[in-house]
Amino acid sequence: MSTCINCNKKDANINFQVYTWNGLGKSNVDFVCCSEECKKEVEEFSEYVNKNAVKFLILILSGAFSFVPFLFLGVFIKNNIFGIMSMSCPLIIIGITVIKYPFSTPETNSFFGIRKTIKLTRIIGIIFIVISILIPIIIYLIGY
């Protein structure tokens, strides 16, 4: 008995293939769904992934490295703001990116189902943004 790739329900029996991102490249991926509705959701989401995967990777990488300019500025200009920005900026960029493009690994998708993985990924994005806002508040409160 198979599990639906979208909603994680048991006894899924609609087999189909979608040409989509699978790890680092695109290939035909076999999926099993419980209903035509879930199949349609998977196809639409895969299309969204195909269209935006490169944009997603560029945004995640620029987000991850966005601390670098602030770190340099912080070395030359002694001001706490650059230290705060070097921590908050990556979190904001990555947070917004994963809310807009809630893409995860194929393993996570098959473990939770695509529908739940999208929700979880967006919640992580929201947590990142909340932390990025809390960092300057905490630093201000401890008077650093």
Binding region for Zn ion (CB under 5 A): 4, 6-7, 9, 34, 38
- The pair phi, psi for residue 29, each rounded to 5°, is -110, 135
Q: Quote the least distance from Cβ 10 to Zn ion, whole Å.
A: 10
- The pair phi, psi for residue 135, each rounded to 5°, is -55, -55
Decide whether 9 or 26 has the Cβ nearer to Zn ion.
9
Decide whether 39 or 59 has the Cβ nearer to Zn ion.
39
Q: Quote the least distance from Cβ 119 to Zn ion, whole Å.
A: 15
The DSSP element (H or E) to which 32 belongs, if any, is strand 25-33
Decide whether 55 or 119 has the Cβ nearer to Zn ion.
119
Contact predicate 92/58, CB 8 Å: no
Residue 58 and residue 94: Cα distance in Å, rounded?
11
Q: Quote the least distance from Cβ 140 to Zn ion, whole Å.
A: 47
What number of helices (H) and strands (E) belong to the chain? 5, 2
Q: Quote the least distance from Cβ 97 to Zn ion, whole Å.
A: 27
Residue 74's closest CA among 62, 88, 61? 88
Structure tokens at 78: 């002694």
Decide whether 5 or 93 has the Cβ nearer to Zn ion.
5
